[in-house]
């Protein structure tokens, strides 16, 4: 049986909420629970799809705009408050189109954004900058955060399946999933990082003929 947030919602709804501030915090908590449940369910579905079909459904299917994909994810992400939303800036140097699938692309971008906020939370500081650069000869998306960074000894391991950093902070499938999806679309994903300074993910996509 898939996880559900209904029990949490019922429990919260049956609790007396005395102020509008408490109500707002409660609504934010419900939104985050629902987001995490959807994310988990989608991840499970995608892993099962991968296991049963050998990545056949991860290939080229739609022509997507990266600017539209990023905008959709920012609309979809359940920011805790406006302050957190303002930590994210988007710089569109040049939009580009690529061949992929809408939901898979959303999962990749949501995972990268979630990781950035985790790094900022651990560091107690930082911002997220997303750069869309379709200038020839390569289509590139940059995800940059100025959070805690990744130790150089761990950096080569982050795309390995079931590797979590720090330990016990997740399933360890997020970045390996991102890598498999991007490579299925004939693209590449790289990461550079400096501890206590920044982390940069670079996603490269082939030009559409």
Q: Which of 54, 73, 90 is the last residue of a domain?
A: 54
Q: What share of the chain is helix, strand, coil (3-state, %, to 5)?
A: 45, 20, 35
**Does residue 2 carry a pLDDT above 60?**
no
**39 and 110 belong to one structural domain:** no
Between 69 and 164, name the one with better pLDDT.
69
Full residue range of the structural domain in which residue 66 is found: 59-205
Alpha-carbon Rg for the chain, nearest whole angstrom, is 18
Q: Which of 54, 73, 99 is the last residue of a domain?
A: 54
Q: Which of 28, 54, 80 is the last residue of a domain?
A: 54
pLDDT tens-place string over residues 148-185: 999 999 999 889 887 776 665 566 678 988 999 999 99
Q: Coil, strand or helix: which one is 190? A: strand
Q: How far apart are the first and last CA of the chain?
A: 44
49 pLDDT band, cuts 50/70/90, is low
Closest CA to 148 of 84, 195, 100, 204: 195
**101 and 198 belong to one structural domain:** yes
Q: Spell out a b/e string for 19-31, using b for 16 or more CB atoms within 10 Å of the CB, else e.
A: eeeeeeeeeeebe
Of 30-34, 44-48, 83-87, 204-208, minimum mean pLDDT range = 44-48
Tokens representing residue 137 in the block: 């000869």
**81 and 40 belong to one structural domain:** no
């Amino acid at each position: 049986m898939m996880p559900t947030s209904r029990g949490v919602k019922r429990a919260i709804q049956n609790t007396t909420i005395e102020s509008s501030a408490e109500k707002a915090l409660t609504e934010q908590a419900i939104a985050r629970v629902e987001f995490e449940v959807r994310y988990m369910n989608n991840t499970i579905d995608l892993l099962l799809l991968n296991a049963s079909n050998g990545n056949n459904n991860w290939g080229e299917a739609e022509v997507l705009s990266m600017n539209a994909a990023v905008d959709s994810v920012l609309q979809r992400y359940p920011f805790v408050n406006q302050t957190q939303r303002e930590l994210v800036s988007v710089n569109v140097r040049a939009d580009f189109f690529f061949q992929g699938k809408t939901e898979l692309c959303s999962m990749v971008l949501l995972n990268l954004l979630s990781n950035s906020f985790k790094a900022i939370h651990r560091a107690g500081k930082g911002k997220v900058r997303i750069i869309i650069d379709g200038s020839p000869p390569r289509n590139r998306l940059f995800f940059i955060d100025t959070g805690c960074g990744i130790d150089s000894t761990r950096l080569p391991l982050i795309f390995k399946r079931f590797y979590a950093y720090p330990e016990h902070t997740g399933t360890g499938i997020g970045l390996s999933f991102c890598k498999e999806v991007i490579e299925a679309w004939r693209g590449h994903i790289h990461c550079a990082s400096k501890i206590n300074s920044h982390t940069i993910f670079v996603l490269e996509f082939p030009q559409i003929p």
